[in-house]
Amino acid sequence: MIGPRLAALALLLTACGGAVAVATPTPSCRPAPSLALPSASAAPVAATADHAQVDPGGTVTFTEIADGSATLEVDCSQPLQVIVTDGTGLSVYSGYSAAAPASACAGEVTLATGAAETYQVTWPVDSSLPGGTYTATLVLGDAPELTLTLAVGTLPGEC
């Protein structure tokens, strides 16, 4: 019989305050990781980025410094090249530093001990890029290539 069962259910609900609480899971949210500024070095060069994480539409400036005592062969018109790739290896940006003054460039840069040359390239991050990890490869003449990893947008697991 349905009548006694419904009466028992009604009595049970009344005894419990007339309401049934349903637990809803709260989304797990962990804080964003503390990202250190990307850097890399291989004598005689060192590179850094001014951001570890950037929103689409923002900018990242890459700086590479060549320290003496060293001699490097560099392209006078485009000394530092930066190539940014996504997680699949697809190139999303390529840019160059400003040309060296003609009076200061003969293709070979010789740095005395304690001397340094600084080169910069700014990446205007396309506003349509999806969030994720990107790798910047910095090429300065015949110096060792350096790679820096940074995040664009919100990474998975962030709030």
Could you tell me if residue 61 is inside a domain? Answer: yes
| Side-chain half-sphere exposure of 109, counting CA atoms within 13 A | 29
Could you tell me if residue 32 is inside a domain? Answer: no
Query: Buried (b) or exposed (e) across 14-27, using 16+ Cβ within 10 A?
Result: eeeeeeeeeeeeee
Could you tell me if residue 19 is inside a domain? Answer: no
Could you tell me if residue 8 is inside a domain? Answer: no
What is the total count of domains within the chain? 1
User: Considering the entire predicted model, what is its pTM?
Assistant: 0.74
CATH number at residue 71: 2.60.40.1930
Could you tell me if residue 12 is inside a domain? Answer: no
Could you tell me if residue 33 is inside a domain? Answer: no
Encode the chain (159 residues) as per-residue pLDDT tens digits: 556 664 554 554 455 555 444 444 444 444 445 579 999 999 999 999 999 999 999 999 999 999 988 888 888 888 999 999 999 999 999 999 988 766 556 678 888 899 898 999 999 999 999 999 999 999 999 999 999 999 999 755 555
Range of the structural domain that residue 72 is part of: 39-152
Cα–Cα dist 139/42, whole Å: 12
Could you tell me if residue 47 is inside a domain? Answer: yes
- For the residues of 63-127, what is the DSSP string, one character each? EEEEESSEEEE--SSS-EEEEEE-TTS-EEEEEEPPPPPGGG-SSEEEE-TT-EEEEEEEEE--T
